[in-house]
Structure 1
Amino acid sequence: MGNTAVSVIGLGEMGRALADALITAGHPTTVWNRSAAKADELVARGAVRAATVEEAVLAGPLTLLCLLDYDVTDTLLRPVAGALRGRTLVSLTNGTPAQARRTEAWAVAQGAAYLDGGIMAIPSTVATPQAFILYSGQKRHFEAHKESLEVLGAAKYLGADAGVAALYDLALLSAMDYMFEGFFHSVAMATSHQEGTAAGFTELLVPWLTNMAQIMPAFAADVDSDAEPVVAQGLDVVLTGARNMAQASRDAGVRADHFERSAAALEKQLAEGLTTYTAPRAVRELRTTSD
């Protein structure tokens, strides 16, 4: 394992997990946080507490940023722009693709190398096989520090466009968000009768969703292909299901907004003469601009 010196700026739960993983792997680790006490346990484990952001940046060739948002990043880095030349910044702060691209452009103008990242993990799974982190930006910068970055979780390089990691990060999080919203909705329905319990229902839900997830690669293949979709359902069947889920939700005293919107969209497609429901069509319908 390499022993590149790494600095971590931002010591919330995730930042502390990142720093702890680096210390465990033997990397000389410098840390900084506005509330200095958050570094106490890391310092006890061998980290060096920087007194300032500039001191943290100057402590080594690689600095990881794990902050609340890009406004905080700008506030902290702009006053120390002169210290960035010749160093590599890796932003692991959640934000939008546009923010990532703007930050890269600014960092490059200061003479720094820049990578943007998205952490697909929770603090307790950092540095475990369950964790992976997305990176985008110039490949030479990724390759130069890949060994150090792999300490945190499997490093997935997505390309030279610095905004792609943020795009994929938020797309993955959106899938998680929909999943949890679906879970809460289904539990609200299932527990609307006297004997229903969330725990008992979830025992059925987890294997059902696990099985259904197996079809996603087939959907993805259809979306990527110019050929006729392999997986298709009758549009009338899908519409009937959406209507029934909406009505059952209302009958159970649960909001049916999602299914009502879905039914309205499917009715529009049926009126336009469409007869099948496919993944490519579903993806196109979600876009606000034409392909």
Structure 2
Amino acid sequence: MSLTPLPRLIVEPLVRAALLEDLGLAGDITSAAVIPGEHRSTMMMAARQPGVIAGLDAAELAFTLVDPEIVMRRHIEDGDAVKTGDVIATIEGPSRGLLTAERTALNFLGHLSGIATVTAEIAAAISGSKASVACTRKTTPGLRALEKYAVRAGGGMNHRFALYDAVLIKDNHVAISGGVAEAIRRARAGVGHLVKVEVEVDRLDQLHEAMETGVDAVLLDNMTPDQLREAVAIVAGRAITEASGRVMPATAAAIAASGVDLISVGWLTHSAPVLDIGLDFVAAATAAETRAKRVASAL
């Protein structure tokens, strides 16, 4: 899989904020009291269940921001599938720093890998069709860039990133504007020529109105597979068709078989189960060993 990593400029502030939340005003008082300052460890990060990995950059940053002497050697990359017991990374360095960063690193990695995993499940379910699975703006506040990246790691596509990069006319816009056609006309008049316009419809009469007015995409909300097939026939290639509502791995194939271009799924980002990943002590390490690993990883 060709997956472009997020710039560090985007990821680091999110990881730094999470660490500051955990460290508070006194730092890791448990590790400071229990672990000698000079002690070093080798730890193994491994999958405790099958899934798709995403978030390794965030996890690594959690460790290196706490202590730059920590070295994380990856055995797989984001977007790779893992089985139970697969080793994801080996991490070496000062033991206090490893333990201080552990939970933040695993929080990011488990959450983002969970998103990648459920995305991959739906992508696999619709693999025989032309449809692609896409996420929505139903993201955790502050984590949208990471969560949408995780969707890409799982083989999905991203919908609009925010309110400013595309027009999506929803049911309340239509109600307040007085109808589908009027909402579309106002949108066309109010945005630039490069901005795409999509309208949400939940009835076929609304779809006819949208197509007569002209849009770039239609969001077919909560329609049955039979209704979706009829909607695709009405659109006839004149706009991108997107289905949403009641999408699960068990229902995705039937939705995709209707001929829609996209299937958008909000729960990919707001309700994906965390992928269980563990970090366990393997052995004590020396400073020389850690330095050697850092040099080797830089080559």
**Higher strand fraction: Structure 1 or Structure 2?**
2
> Higher RCO, 1 or 2 (CA under 8 Å, sep at least 6)?
2
TM-score w.r.t. the length of structure 2 is: 0.29
**Higher helix fraction: Structure 1 or Structure 2?**
1
